[in-house]
Structure 1
Amino acid sequence: MSSDAAPDPFTDPLAFGQRMQVLRTRRGMSRPVLAGLVGRSSSWVKQVEYGRLQTPKLTMILRIAEALRVRDLSELTGQESMPTDLFIGPGHRRLPAVAAVINAFPLTASREAPPAEHLRARLAAAWAARHSAPNHRDVIGTLLPDFIRDAQAAARQAASAPERRAAQAVLAEVYSLAQFFLAYQPESALLWRVAERGMVAAQESEDPHAIGVAAWLLAQAHRDAGPEHFDAADAVTMETIRYLDALLPDGSDDVLAIAGALRFEAGYTAARRGDTGAAWGHWDRARRMAWRLPESYYHPVTSFSRAIMGAHAVTVAVELHAGGESVRQAAAADAVTIPSRPRRARHRIEEARGYQLDGQPEAALATLDKAFDAAPETIRYNGYARRIVLEETEARSPERRRRAADLAVRIGILAA
C-alpha cells in the first residue's frame, strides 16, 4: 500500500476524527459539503479530523453519521461494544426465506406456473395488503417466496412471445415488491440483485409501466448508496423520463403516474445535492402531472397521486435542510389523505425531520409517535427516525428524554 493511501478505519484503532475523514473521503464528499450538512464550518470539520478538537457530543455524532450514511454507528466511533444500526434496520424474521428464493437458480420446471390473470390478481392484492398493513414487511415477507417462484415459472413456461412479455412484466413488479421488503435490511446485495433483475425483466416485457417502476426503484437504490452514486441515479431517472414522455399523449393513467413519480425522484436527488432551483422545478412539474390524474387515483407502487404531492414538498424542503420551509410545507400537507399506512408513516417521519431542523424537538417526537401509530415497521427501519430518537435520549429536558427513551424501546433501538 502506498504511503498516501487512505487507511482502513476498521483494522486499526483510529481516533474519531480519523475515522470521520476516511469515511468522508470514501463517500467522495468534500469538507465544505459535510460542513454544510451538519451546520458547521469546513474549518471545524478539518479540526475534528486532525484531532485538534475533542470528539463531538452524541447529537453531532448522529448528524455526521446521517450525512455520511453510516450504517452502524461503531463505524464512526470505533466503539464495537455498542453497535447501533442507523440506516440499516434489523433483519426481518422472514428475510432468510425470501433470500433463499432470490439466491436460488431454478433450471427445471418443477412447479406449474399459475395463469397470468391469477398472478396479476395476486399482485394487486399484495400491493393492497402492503398499503393497509401496519407491519407491512411481515405481510410481504409471507407472500414473496411462493410469489417469486410462481412468477419466475410463468416467465420460463410462457408459450408465445406475447405471453412471455406479459409474464416478464408481472415478474418485474414482483421484484419491485421484493425491493420494498428488502430496503434498509442488512442484505444490501440482495436489494441490488432484485433491482437489476427487475430492470432486466421490465426491459424484456417491453411494457412502459413496468420499465418505469423498475427504473424508479433502481434510481432510489443508487441515490441511497451515497453522493458518489447521484449521477447514476440521475442517468436512470432522466433516460426513463425521456422514454416515457414520448408515450404520454396516448398513455394510461399508470404510465402518466410513473412518469410523474420519476420526475419527483429527479427533484429528490437534486435536493440531496443541495440544488434548490432544480429540486423545486422538478417537484412543480411532477405536481402538474399529478393534477392530470383523476382525483381519486393512487399509484399502487409509488403512491404517486394528487394526495402525495404535499408530502413530496416536505421531503424536498427537508433534504434542502430548510427547517422553516419544511414546517410550512408540513402544515400545508394533509397526511390523512394518504391512504397507504407505510407511506403515511414515512410522511410523518419527514415532518419530524422538518420540526427537528426548525428547532422544535417536542413536535418532532410527537410526530414520530404518529408515525409509529400508522406503521411501526416503517419507523423501525428508518434511519432518520432512529437518529432523531437517539439524539433526543440525550436531551436536557427530562420529559423529552423520557418520551424519546420510550419510543426508542418501542422501535427496538434500546432494550426495555
Structure 2
Amino acid sequence: MKVTETLNEGLKRGYNIVVTAAEMEEKVNEKLLEAQPEVEMKGFRKGKVPMALLKKQFGDKVMGEAMQESIDGAMSKHFEETGDRPAMQPEIKMTNENWKPGDDVDVSVSYETLPEIPEVDLKKIKLEKLVVKAEDKDIDEALANLAENAQNFEDRKKGSKSKDGDQVTIDFLGKVDGEAFEGGAAEDYPLVLGSNSFIPGFEEQLVGAKVDEDVEVKVDFPAEYQAEHLAGKAAVFECKIKAVKEPKAAEVNDELAKQFGAEDLAALKVQIAERLEAEFSGAARAVQKRKLLDELDTLVKFELPPSLVEAEAGQIAHQLWHEENPDVEGHDHPEIETTDEHKSLAERRVRLGLLLAEMGRKNEIEVTDAEMTQAIMNQARQYPGQERQFFEFVQQNQQMQQQMRAPIFEDKVVDYVFELADVTEKSIKKADLEKAVEALEDEAS
C-alpha cells in the first residue's frame, strides 16, 4: 500500500492511497479462508467447499469488504502517525472509476485537520462571581404570587354582575339545529370567566350576568373541533346562572404554607429564599460564563477549519431566518445566504468550541453515564406518559445523544476553568443582576 501526500496548505490535507491488486487478492483470500470452516453449500460437507467455488460465489462481496477495510486501515494508520484529527468526515473517493478485479485500487482522500490550539494560563483569567441574596421584599413578592395562585372564590353581593376572572356556577344545555347533543349539558358547573376552558366566545357572553338569570349563549364550534359532527356548527347554549363568585387571594399564613408542603410560614419563607437564591445563582453563572467566553475569545487566536465555520454560519443564518419567519415551519423556503455577521459569529463559536473541547480532552473531562441518564430523564418529563418511549428513542439515536451530551460537557469544562481562574465574589442587588442578564440577551440578539 502506498500513501502519497497531494495537498498541505494551512489546515487542508490531501492524499492518494494505492492498494495494489496483489494486496487486495491476499486480503480476499484471507477473509475466505477465515470463513471457509463455517460455509455450507449443497453437494459439500460443512467447511469443505473448495476455495475456487467460494471465490466465485462470494468473491465480489468479500472484495468490497476487503477494499473498505484496507482503506479504513490505511486512514487509521495515517492519523495515528501524523496526529491529524479531521475537523469533519474526510472525503474519500476512488479515482480509477473503471476499476475491475485485478486492478490496483486508487483512492483520493481530502480533509481539514483540526488546528494546534495554544495553551491558556487559566490562573491569569480574572472573573467576577455575582452574588445576590434574597431580600424580604423578594420573598414577600413570591408569597403574594403563591397566595394568588392558591386563590379561593367568594360569593359576590346579591345582585352583583359577574366580571372577567369571576367564577360562575351554571347549568347549561347546548343545542345544534334545535336538538340537544351528547356532552352538551351539565349542572352546577364552576366556570372561571376568562379561563378559555370553553369554546371561543362562550365565556365572554356570561360577563355581566347575575344570579338566577337565564343567558342564551350563541357560538360557533371551531372548524377543526375534535368532535367532527359539531365542527363548524352554530350552537345555542341555554345557561342558568346559579352563583357569581369573585376571586379572593389566600391569606399569607401557616395554612397557606401547609398547602405548599411547608410546616409553617417561617419554613415556607426559608424554602422560597433558597429557591430564589438558586435562581439568582443560575443567572449569575450565565453572566460569569459569558464574561469567561469573551475573555477566552480575546486571549486565544488560531486558524479555523473553513468547513466548520461555513457549516456553523449556515446554521446560524438558517436559525435566524426561521426566527424572523415563524410561520414557515418546514424547510421549503428560498436558499438562505450567509452574511459577514453570520460568519463573524460562526468564527467565535467555532473557536470557543474547539478551545473548550481541547481543554476537556487534555484534562480528561468526560460526561458520565449517570449524567447522561439524568439529562435524558429530565427531558423525558416534558412528555408525560411517553417517558419510556423517549428514553428508548434517545438510547438508539447517536445524534440525539450527542446533542444532549455537548452542553453538559461544555458546562463541566467551564466549571473546571472557574475553579482555576482568579474569581472574586461581588454582592449586588437583584435589579443589578436583572440588568446584567438583559445585557446578555441584547448581545445575543
TM-score strictly above 0.5: no
State the structure with more CA Rg: 2
Q: TM-score normalised by the shorter chain: which range applies?
A: under 0.3
TM-score, normalized by length of structure 1? 0.19
| Greater length-normalized contact order (CA 8 Å, ≥ 6 residues apart) | 2
More strand by percentage: 2
